[in-house]
Amino acid sequence: MKIQLCAGTIGLLLLIMAESLVAQSEPTKTYQELRTEDQSATLPYHPDLPAGIGNANERLAAFRIEASSNTQILNALTFNLTGTTDLTDLTKVRVYFTGSKERFMVEEAVLFGSVKPAAGILTVHGQQNLRQGENYVWITTDVSENAKEGNRIAAHPLSYTISGDNPVQIPIIDAGRTLLLTSTLLFSGGDAGSKNYRIPAIVTATDGSLVTATDKRWNNAADLPNHIDVVIRRSTDQGRSWSDPVTIAGEATTTGFGDPALMVNRMNGDMICLFASGKGWTQSTPTDPQRIFQSISSDNGITWSDPVDITDQIYGAACTNPVSKNWAGAFVTSGAATQLSCGRLMAVLAARETTENVISNFVIYSDDGAKTWQASTNRASYKGDEAKVVELDHGDVLMSIRHSGNRWFNVSKDKGVTWLESPYIQADIIDPFCNGDIIRYTSRSSGYDRNRLLHSIPYATSRKNVSVLLSYDEGGTWPVRKTICPGASAYSSLCVLDDVKGTIGIYVEVGEYETYQMYFMSFSLDWLTDGKDHWSPPVGTGKQ
């Protein structure tokens, strides 16, 4: 008999070869110790992916049994809930069987049994025929609506019994999941026939709904040119549930539309989505450029206009701008675009100024509500990449630029028209050369108690450990950092919920199974700062 252990999700598995049906007890092993022991493991492993308050069937642990025949029957499983902060956070614990499927989907799983949460060793009895080869067993829980943000939930399988024989003991993995206000899966590979989903963008509409834009990458995870659609989803309950996806660009075509950026025009409530299309970055030329499109919603993301090509306003041979007309290629950075206090709409452009494959950063802006656009002619960075902008409290514009090693920053003092001669290194923010997000959280000029900026990035040397950082001095330093997704994770987009609580939302790529799955998560300022900072409503705005 063989067993393999996993926690949270199937992924890295520790193979134990038993001499008999009775195995010796193993000491507790940490996730990192198990990872070191099994360098051959290739499946993703997220024992510490955040869980959501109020969610049903959150995965706690799993293990694999390799049965030698089809006649063996699983009779019992023992486990404990050690590592769970407060057992009242759990309302029911279940054990499921998924056969040879190494991925838990409750609608396809077979319930083996259930038990009420309790201290000590718990036993679930049942009768489950095993199949010769791999068999997966899962422990899940329903999380109470009254659970506390920041608490941890965990389960440790201890032993199982096959066909009434002696128990087979299972080594314990030291892992657990942190409870956030919300953790909701929006897209997985295979949904609606698409092999992959990537590229998160999220905004809060003027009616308080949350709206996401995502690349639906039909055939593979690669960028344009490929069969890619831009799809929209909405939530009217603070991210707990989401509408069915609506395709706003690319439906029934193979030309490809992707890399969406979202912003809201607070002057009239319009929502603008900018995205790329066509032949791709490296094939683009001034006379045949990769295209830039926009689609607008005037009803908080419910319906959208047909995509409008705005390329000739921005760059390429047909553009009247004497500088950008010679650029070989360009695209708008995906994620959060912004609106300045003066009403100017702004997004960052990644441009190939020549035929060389070198990216420079400029901005595009509109002063007439996205009717027309123009590109700045003064670059913010040379050898940059995807970048984001945020308006500082005194009116300057700060750009955060993707750069391997540490994030690059630059500043404009004239609403994005010109920039400092060269960007500077932001030593507080590690960057594995990945897209991130930067947004305004609170500002004194809007009546809040402090200036606060938020920044998301995989805070590591590779694409993992997506974290959120907090600055109190307009981006000068970033003293607060909290990990959101410890495992493989990449692009992310931030928003602030309209819930009179200052709840922070993040839409993020999580590398759990296929290249990425798309999750929405939310959390409080209290959790982000370990209780050292608290959101309070702005003075004189009527918010309570």
Give the least confident one: 48-52, 102-106, 285-289, 382-386. Answer: 102-106
Percentage of residues in the chain with pLDDT exceeding 90? 85
E-strand ranges in 268-358 read: 271-277, 291-297, 308-309, 329-332, 335-336, 338-339, 345-352
Provide the b/e sequence for 87-113 (b: ≥16 CB within 10 Å).
eebbbebbbbbbbeebebeeeebeebb
Q: Is the pLDDT of residue 516 over 70?
A: yes
Q: Is residue 508 situated within a structural domain? A: yes
pLDDT digits (tens, 9 = 90+) for 236-246: 999 999 999 99
Do the beta carbons of residue 389 and residue 346 sit within 8 Å? yes
CATH number of the structural domain spanning residue 121: 2.60.40.1290
Q: Are residues 206 and 135 in the same domain?
A: no
CATH number of the structural domain spanning residue 238: 2.120.10.10
The mean pLDDT of 523-533, rounded to a whole number, is 99
Q: How far apart are CA 512 and CA 191, in angstroms?
A: 15
Determine the pLDDT at residue 174: 76
Q: Is residue 539 situated within a structural domain? A: no
The mean pLDDT of 243-267, rounded to a whole number, is 93
Determine the pLDDT at residue 252: 72
Q: Are residues 148 and 193 in the same domain?
A: no
Q: Are residues 169 and 188 in the same domain?
A: no
Do the beta carbons of residue 54 and residue 143 sit within 8 Å? yes
Phi first, then psi: give them for residue 129, nearest 5 degrees.
-65, 130
Give CA separation, 488 vs 39, 187, 257, 355, 460, in Å: 16, 16, 26, 34, 10
Hey, which residues does 137 pair with through a beta bridge? Answer: 63, 97
Q: How far apart are CA 15 and CA 111, in angstroms?
A: 25
Q: Is residue 408 situated within a structural domain? A: yes
Q: Are residues 267 and 396 in the same domain?
A: yes
Q: Are residues 394 and 491 in the same domain?
A: yes
Instruction: Please give the residue range of the domain that contains residue 458.
Output: 182-528
pLDDT digits (tens, 9 = 90+) for 303-352: 999 999 999 999 999 999 999 999 999 999 999 999 999 999 999 999 99
Determine the pLDDT at residue 504: 99
Q: Is residue 541 situated within a structural domain? A: no
State how many domains the chain has. 2
Q: Are residues 467 and 479 in the same domain?
A: yes
**Among candidate residues 164, 180, 196, the one where a domain is terminated:** 180
Q: How far apart are CA 366 and CA 388, in angstroms?
A: 16
Higher-confidence residue of 543 and 242: namely: 242
Q: Is the pLDDT of residue 153 over 70?
A: yes
Determine the pLDDT at residue 541: 55
Q: Are residues 162 and 131 in the same domain?
A: yes
Q: Is residue 543 situated within a structural domain? A: no
Higher-confidence residue of 438 and 24: namely: 438
Q: Is residue 472 situated within a structural domain? A: yes
Two structure tokens written together for 371? 């009717």
pLDDT digits (tens, 9 = 90+) for 173-187: 778 999 999 999 999
Q: Are residues 187 and 260 in the same domain?
A: yes
Q: Is residue 534 situated within a structural domain? A: no
Determine the pLDDT at residue 13: 37
Q: Is the pLDDT of residue 36 over 50?
A: no
Q: Are residues 104 and 216 in the same domain?
A: no
Q: Are residues 186 and 176 in the same domain?
A: no
Determine the pLDDT at residue 521: 99
Do the beta carbons of residue 85 and residue 148 sit within 8 Å? yes
Determine the pLDDT at residue 329: 97
**Among candidate residues 180, 206, 226, the one where a domain is terminated:** 180
Determine the pLDDT at residue 11: 35
Q: Is the pLDDT of residue 488 over 60?
A: yes
Element (H, E) at 314: helix 311-314
Do the beta carbons of residue 260 and residue 212 sit within 8 Å? no
Determine the pLDDT at residue 465: 97
Mean pLDDT of the chain: 91
Percentage of residues in the chain with pLDDT exceeding 70? 91
Q: Are residues 329 and 430 in the same domain?
A: yes
Of the pLDDT bands very low, low, confident and very high (cuts 50, 70, 90), residue 148 is: very high
Q: Is the pLDDT of residue 7 over 60?
A: no
Q: Are residues 201 and 274 in the same domain?
A: yes
**Among candidate residues 180, 200, 227, the one where a domain is terminated:** 180
The mean pLDDT of 22-51, rounded to a whole number, is 47
Q: Is residue 217 situated within a structural domain? A: yes
Determine the pLDDT at residue 25: 34
pLDDT digits (tens, 9 = 90+) for 372-408: 999 999 999 999 999 999 999 999 999 999 999 999 9
Determine the pLDDT at residue 173: 75
Question: Residue 128 gets which letter from DSSP?
Answer: E
Give the least confident one: 48-52, 169-173, 424-428. Answer: 169-173
The mean pLDDT of 509-519, rounded to a whole number, is 92
